Structure 1
Amino acid sequence: MNRLIAALSALLVLAGLPGCANAQTLVDLQVLDLDRYETLPRHPHRGRDYIEGRPGHRYAVVLQNLTGERVLAVVSVDGVNAISGQTAGSQQSGYVLEPWQRLEVRGWRKNLSEIAEFHFTSLGDSYAARTGRPDNVGVIGVAAFRERRPVHVPHYSSRDDGYAPPYPAAPPAPVAEAQSARGASSADAAAPAMKSEARESGLAARQQLGTGHGERRWDAASVTRFERESARPNQVLSVFYDSTEALVARGVLPWRRRHGWDSPEAFPIGFAPDP
């Protein structure tokens, strides 16, 4: 499936405070285990949704456009932009979803024809940790934006009707010149907020799993233009993940009896029963 990437040079980038512009439901976010090809169930806990990651398993971030319009989805994995590899900020590049489109984001974008696959791995082996950014490992996020609708300029006749001519429209703002500095500041502003959240919840100290930089595979994409309706995302989604053991320790999952293949026992039954 062809992916459409919104080029930074085509985005309307404005500095703004974190938050959403009139939070709306634009996209649905799921995580698909590619080795078992099953959608990982969510486990609500204290206002957050968690999923169980299986070490070594590849996965995809599945996005579903729930509207009849184009939507921009900026994807963050472990606090890192899935396209650019930058510390994630909502004003960065993302994937453009066509009306009602379903999209599987299967890895870190390397170029317009390749990705490096997402897979669950140890925190220390995660892409974020190996690039010196371990503070936000364990969360997958999406910031979704509506597209700005074109403004229809009324047509005026050139004949002299005795009225003053219409005032000319102001020239468009120089987006390209201002964007690089503003985009960087947005990313820098987003990073401390996410770090603070991780510290407050204690996730950074107990996190076991992260997302690795896996094998390269073919995954075609193209560049398109997209102008955001608002500087702030219309919707922000996040889902947290970790190993089964870590989620049990945090109280997200109930304690489960270990399977035989996890740790063999010499005497699993105990005493011999009466006949």
Structure 2
Amino acid sequence: MSPEDYNFITSFLLDTTGLSLGENKEYLLEARLVPLAQSHGMNGIEDLVLALQSSIDPSLKKDVMEAMTTNESSFFRDRRPFDELKNNILPSLIAERQTTQRLRIWCSACSHGQEPYSIVMLIREHFPELANWNIQIVATDLCTKALDRAQGGIYSQFEVQRGLPVQLLMKHFDQCEQGWQIKSELGSGIQWKHLNLLEDFQHLGMFDIVFCRNVLIYFKPDTKKHILDRISRQMSSSGVLLLGAAETVLGISDNYSKMSECQSAIYQLAKTSPLSAGVN
């Protein structure tokens, strides 16, 4: 791969997805994009770059973006955030929302669906009092192929063994030819939507809980700030943001403060922020 082709693709990915590869990632681009180029009848990266530059195939741009998306996930990934959700976040919100009996949750990079399904299972198992509440879960991702898989709810034996307790597997899944399929009633309350976090997402509405885990680590600081600030404008006044274990808002956005009861990377709107005076 020539330096010119490398620079073009990394700039293309930065502009379209926010993904910042930096230097010396030629091996990664070749591993993911050479098979893609061949599937489009091209010889390799050079042909792919020429096609992107000419915009002859409108689907190619989307295919390149999706090929470079990391769709790594597992059920109850990094267990602690789900413990915090069960022990602190949901009990606090439930006490506050007894009148409206409504909660909205956003999984902003849902990948193959393990995260939103884990949330539904946690609510079903530990909060039976929410059975008659209006619980809305919006699951979004940049990759349409990942969304299709998520909505289908079929997982291999290996995937269900990663973080999913066997009792929940037997209760909420049916065995199928490809492995295990989540029961339809578990996914009925999830709205699956294609979304690029670089683009406007005001149409999604307001949320009480936002999962944005292991996404921002791939972005440059100014892009992280832009996304975090826009998310804060769509959180209710007592809303909660959950980031990945290695992520933080410190030094990036002043719109949040650490949720004192929680040990993980969990934040609320800062009390000094004008956003914290918003309506629920």
**TM-score band w.r.t. shorter chain:** under 0.3
Q: Which has the higher helix share?
A: 2
Bigger relative contact order, structure 1 or 2 (CA pairs below 8 A, ≥6 apart):
1
TM-score by length of structure 1 reads 0.21
More strand by share: 1
Which one has the largest radius of gyration?
1
TM-score when normalising by structure 2: 0.21
